[in-house]
């Protein structure tokens, strides 16, 4: 149960980081962001958030498989530790990316 709670917390935080470009620029700039315009596209935050969601999901799946079929999949728990470490590192990268943009470009970036 703790695995699912932490996994969903990581996924929620990553989705918040993925939504920050839309919240900062508004609906009028949504098409420019979707097109990948270099002046308004925050690629580092979005890519880091996507990687965090995928690795957190992998972490949850490995733990669920290990607890559901312990003899067959319990050795995968060691890999799940790497997965959650990568997910947390991606969240940290997204947070640093947002803070860096705020320091360099200001509130509207």
Q: What is the total count of domains within the chain? A: 1
Token readout for 71 is: 């003899």
Whole-angstrom distance, CA of residue 62 vs CA of residue 51: 16
Give me the pLDDT at residue 25, please. Answer: 61
Flag whether pLDDT at 107 surpasses 60: no
Domain with 57 in it: 2-105
Residue 28, pLDDT > 80, answer no
What pLDDT digit, counting tens, does each position of 31-80 carry? Answer: 554 444 444 456 777 888 888 889 998 888 888 888 888 888 888 888 88
């Amino acid at each position: 149960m703790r695995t699912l709670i932490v996994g969903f917390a990581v996924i929620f935080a990553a989705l918040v980081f993925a939504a920050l470009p839309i919240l900062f620029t508004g609906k009028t700039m949504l098409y420019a962001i979707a097109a990948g315009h270099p002046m308004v596209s925050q690629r580092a935050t979005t890519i880091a958030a996507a990687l965090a969601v995928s690795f957190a999901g992998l972490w949850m799946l490995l733990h669920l498989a290990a607890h559901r079929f312990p003899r067959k999949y319990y050795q995968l728990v060691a890999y799940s530790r790497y997965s959650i470490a990568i997910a947390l590192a991606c969240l940290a990268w997204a947070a640093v990316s947002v803070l860096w943009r705020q320091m360099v470009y200001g509130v509207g970036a």
